[in-house]
Amino acid sequence: MAFDFSGKVALVTGGSRGIGRAIAIGLGRGGAKVAVNYAGNEAAALEACALVKAAGGEAFPLKFDVADSAACQAAIDGIVKEHGGLHVLVHNAGIAIDGLLLRFKDEDLERQLATNLKSAFFLARAAARPMMKQRAGAIVTLSSIVGEMGNGGQTAYAASKAGLIGFTKSLAKELASRNVRANVVSPGFIDTDMTKAIPEALRAKMLEGIPLGRLGSAEEVGNAVCFLASDLASYVTGEVVRVNGGMYT
């Protein structure tokens, strides 16, 4: 599915692989110029950029740490200065550090909250000013089914992803008067490198809990993100769109 992003500049964090790459390609298919953020794998980022260009868009890699407030501000300032604005921000970057509560280390909690949750605050704060000035913008944050229904062994991850929902709903109210929208996409179990590593027996059990009987694809998540980022969703803000095959409704 292609949406119209002609003349739009977008930033996708964690855009070098998986769901982030699918989002970047979807935006490129609509004609967007996409900044593909990555943390360390330059080869993957360059490959993602090539796929965005093949889909019909423009793309360039952008390395910075989303957990670093100053780095987020500098990256977005640079995009606006170099490319004339920022119209779409997709906060997709995140990590999952699993562990039981009683054994969870303080440093792992801080790292997970910084990468998954604090980063959304840093990025939105940096993007809000240029978006408000141009009186147009769309911010889409990637949460998770785990942030809505919980999961044993993932208290920290669930907290970070649930926090994104409350953050984005509040952000939507703050920015609405300037025609800047903020929404959440909450994926379920998606067929990525992470889920490929799940043992077959556990994978089969997971599928039993999904009414549609299969894992979702990164492209299906990307379609939901692109819809919310597009003008077709011009009257949608503060919403959580679930892409989970009916596992949680």
Q: Which residues are catalytic?
A: 157
Report the first-to-last Cα separation within the chain, whole angstroms: 24
19, two tokens = 């769901």
Q: What is the DSSP string of 188-208?
A: -SB-SHHHHTS-HHHHHHHHH
Q: What angle do CA 179, 183, 188 make, to 5 degrees?
A: 165
Which of helix, strand or coil describes residue 99?
Answer: strand
Amino acid at 76: I
Cα dihedral across residues 184, 89, 15, 220: positive or negative: positive
